[in-house]
Structure 1
Amino acid sequence: MLTSGATLAMARKFSASGFWRDIRASGATAFVYIGELCRYLLNQPPGPHDRDHRVRVVIGNGLRPEIWDEFQQRFGIAHICEFYGSSEGNLVFINAFGLPRTAGFTPLPYAIVAFDTANERPVRDARGFMRRVAVGEAGLLITEVDAGHPFDGYTDAEATEAKLLHDVFKKGDVWINSGDLVRSQGLRHIAFVDRVGDTFRWKGENVATTEVERAIGAVKGVAQASVYGVAVAHSDGRAGMAAVVLHPGAAFDGRAMAQDLCRALPVYAVPIFVRIIKAQETTGTFKLRKVELKQQGFDPAFIDEPLFVLLDRDHGYQPLTRAIHRRILAGTVRW
């Protein structure tokens, strides 16, 4: 910026309602986004000044595919430059070609390998090596470490070693474990799928929370959704649960939501439980916080907010009462 003679404007804090006013006041032609920031802007009521700005490009990471087109069209953004990277990593993907719904391209060495979600580790074959996934498949993103692409690591030697994978494709090679599941889009492009630990296994299948969140976000009346897995007595894996924020004035329609999700998702990916919350907790970088939600589970005795359960797909989501909760704990409810 300094060498190009550009100006940087910074607001004291983020405000979804005042964001475009600040953009117009500064005359900005670009801005940086992160996490759920774009969704917060999109959730604001449409207005006549949505395109009254000079912004021609935005750059950042975390723009969800399900809102990409709507965000770009509503606010008239010519170029969305999504990227993927980390401060300690040795590569970055960037949407240099302006393609929709992608974290971008990199010329640097990487691989996407098969991943065991249940045990949270890469899959190794009989020889002890990992396997690359095909285009369109999701897997663990790893990046090669060599003289041209070093990994400086952390101040903690144990943390540095824990980040590395050895003997990945051949004896002696070393790769960085990104901790992220991505989908190969071909032509060296990727799409972010989930953070390792967020994806869970149910009915013998891997459930990517971002894909379920995308489907729920398309349901009428839903402003935002956070999906996670919860342990259920007498069941293998984790059942899907969604914490849902509704648009102001919208009412939860359990039957309509069940119908929409059953059409949009595989049977195993449809959430069993729904919790209606007032707002989503986010981190300092506008990423959804799920740790507390996972810990709280689905016990109506300890959760004051409305809880629903899917016992019958034709009937839809119904209130999760303490009596139903006792039946679930006793193992008399089967999905």
Structure 2
Amino acid sequence: MKSENEVRRVVVALGGNALIKRGDEMNTEVQRKNVALVADALSEIAREHELVITHGNGPQVGLLALQASSMGKPADWPLDVLGAQSEGMIGYLIEQEMGNRLPDRKYATLLTQVEVDPGDPAFDNPTKPIGPVYSREQADQLASEYGWSIAPDNEYWRRVVPSPLPKRIYEIDTIRMLVDNGVIVVCSGGGGIPTMYVEEGKISGVEAVIDKDRVGSLLAGGLDADMFIILTDVSGVYSNWGEEGATPIREISPKAIREYDFAKGSMGPKVEAACEFAERTRKTAVIGALEDLSEIIEGRAGTRVSLFAGETTWY
């Protein structure tokens, strides 16, 4: 019988920037090199744990949208279709690199539909950045040409799209069946394919990109995962990020971490996803860096969000 603190089933959420880093040239060769680094870390975990992988797709789906726009009207290639394309593309690269390291394991990439609410206020307030970064002049030109919404991203600008909250993962039973049978599954990539009910009993895709960490939290809960890990490009969650004296948090409760103010386009959704998982399952969510993944599993790195955290501790 599994002990209370034993980690057996792990859901890992990779940021889209783990596959295409800021400033990288956006091509398959660069993605493959980055995925190889990701697979080095993930394969070590997969040797001892059941592993489910989800990932971002912001840079990739934005590039696909830009390519599609050059061939015709953007409406000809809606974001749900492009999201499905990015799931297949990224899943293929992850499967191949994982298979090169663990050739005796079974793998599957599953196109994953995720239900959203057509009344979600996110549709009136696009906030999810996708695609490459641009100068303000380039972004203004593209916004004018294609009708995009744009927003600042540090010193650059990016296209932003609606990011509604996920309600349900349609394929969750299929994913669970695969994991129960020893398959390493790549699923709900890019937050899954956004869909909604358009009439009684019928679903259709929708022009949006769901936050992959919020879907990852829903996925981990639906699979009864022992730990949900959100990997990013920093070692954990910092109080007073960007200010003098910023300190990395070691362990904290959902209530305590929500007292801090985090950027809505970056750390904010990660923190909320971690809180949701901890509250829904009474298990631990961790936010940390890819290179620390083994230590995260062992409780020696990353910011741990748990209902059972006492006073907040720091590194």
TM-score (norm 2): 0.27
Task: Tell which has more relative contact order, 1 or 2 (C-alpha 8 A, sep 6+).
Answer: 2
Greater fraction of residues in helix: 2
TM-score (norm 1): 0.26
Larger Rg: 1
